[in-house]
Structure 1
Amino acid sequence: MLALILAGGEGSRLRLGEKALVMVHEQPMISWVLDAFAAADCEPLVITSHKTPFTRNWCRANGIDFLDTAGTGYVEDLTEAVEMTDEEGPLFTSAADIPCLTEDIIRRIRAAHAEHGLPACSAWVPVSRCEAYGMQPRYCETVCGVAATPCAVNILTGGLIGVAQEEFCLLLDEPGLAFNINTREELAVLEREFYAVRGL
């Protein structure tokens, strides 16, 4: 399955340059995400923009497929990228700043999508799991009776991009999904907890 890794934003809140290339335990943040999708037998494709020229060059230097979009915004770039791929069936979408994503989590999301048969599947983590690490979720909904926040990894149907897609909301109480990195404080927590939450 194709996996679009969104890496076209400036990362202005983190203030460390292009966020996808911020180092996490001796690897750029995006490389952990790419490795997880590759291990789960997906085909990762990085989505860059004029705002992330170094990420584009990093992909080129490392033989990683990428597409350049207008850099208008996350949703707009995602829509543009899906249209550029001509993918009609299901595909993964993921942020580049979730370095604790693992092969197992990806396979569980794909299995849930297949089981429930809806056009889309979104992954959520309990807010309490995020707060336990001092992370501050910016959006919250109730999923399976639990206050939860989206994990920035989903499955969508390419042929339905641009319209609302009925989705199954999958609640995953996984420590690693608490880490969506937007600030230096969150990065510091990740550095401290990284090996524990990834089980390394």
Structure 2
Amino acid sequence: MIGIVMAGGKGTRMNLDDEKLLLQYKKPIILHVIDSLKNSSCFSKIIAVTSPNSPKTKKLLEENNIETFDTSGLGYVEDLNSVLRKFKDLVLVTSGDLPLLDTEIIQTIVKQSDSKKIWTSILVTDKLLSSIGTKSEYSIIHNNQKCNFTGISLIDSQKINSLENIEENYVILDDKRIALNLNTKQDYDLLSTA
């Protein structure tokens, strides 16, 4: 399995002077996410997906000997599609802005992999997000409850020709380690209470 970390976004909702993934939480958040994947021992390769929107993040990754994959930076879906076409394998895709991610939750997620499923998105409930004081713009109703995307998916990219018309499956893992994405300054402020 390949670990893919999406690290090419603009981070515009944070309204920062610098790139979002360089924010510190013990160390730059992007390095925390990469180390969580590395230390899980679940992946044959870990790749950070960068773009022209994240030149400082790419520089930091390269200085730390982390393999990068350049995309156009046109958008999350376009960038993800580009990397999935390149690496035909089972992949775990995660956002680079999950500061509470750790080895144990990565291993738990990898165990959710099902060879019969092409795409499985990991969800948390709206109730969990509310309990930790955050919210998400990306929600669905699953199992009769409002759930939110974590930015983590298990994908069999060998079975994908395009990202259109793929049957998406869902697994709910209510865990704050995957619930807190840094999308706003308020989310970053919540780290001090996590």
Shorter-chain TM-score above 0.5: yes
CA deviation map 1:104-163 (0-9, x unaligned): 22222222223x621121100011111112202112212233221011010112130523
Displacement of 1:192? 2.1
Please say if residues 6 and 49 of structure 2, whose CA atoms lie closer than 8 Å, have aligned partners that are also in contact. yes
* Structure 1 stretches of at least 4 aligned residues deviating more than 4 Å after TM superposition: none
Q: How does 1:154-169 map to 2 (within 5 A)?
A: 154-159=153-158, 160-163=160-163, 164-169=165-170
- TM-score, normalised by the number of residues in structure 2: 0.90
Please say if residues 20 and 96 of structure 1, whose CA atoms lie closer than 8 Å, have aligned partners that are also in contact. yes
Displacement of 1:54? 0.4
CA deviation map 1:28-86 (0-9, x unaligned): 11112111111222222111111111011101111111011111000101111222x3x
Distance in 1 of aligned mates of 2:116 and 2:107: 15
Partner of 1:18: 19
Distance in 2 of aligned mates of 1:146 and 1:106: 24
Displacement of 1:27? 0.6
Displacement of 1:4? 1.2
Distance in 2 of aligned mates of 1:165 and 1:92: 16
Partner of 1:152: 151
Structure 1, unaligned runs of 5 or more: 194-200
Find the partner of 2:53 among 44, 51, 71.
51
Cα–Cα, structure 1 residues 176 and 81, in superposed 2: closer, same or farther, change >3 Å?
Answer: same
**RMSD value over aligned CA atoms?**
1.5
Amino acid at match of 2:129: C
Identity of aligned residues (%): 25
Between 13-22 and 160-169, report the one with greater CA deviation: 160-169
Partner of 1:170: 171
Partner of 1:73: 75
Give yes or no for the alignment of 1:91 onto 2:91. Answer: yes
Cα–Cα, structure 1 residues 90 and 161, in superposed 2: closer, same or farther, change >3 Å?
Answer: farther
Between 48-57 and 132-141, report the one with greater CA deviation: 132-141
Secondary structure, counterpart of 1:113 in structure 2:
coil
Between 122-131 and 157-166, report the one with greater CA deviation: 157-166
Distance in 1 of aligned mates of 2:119 and 2:92: 10
Partner of 2:134: 135
Distance in 2 of aligned mates of 1:95 and 1:191: 20
Amino acid at match of 2:150: C
Please say if residues 79 and 161 of structure 1, whose CA atoms lie closer than 8 Å, have aligned partners that are also in contact. no
Please say if residues 2 and 92 of structure 1, whose CA atoms lie closer than 8 Å, have aligned partners that are also in contact. yes
Count how many residue pairs are aligned between Structure 1 and Structure 2.
Answer: 189
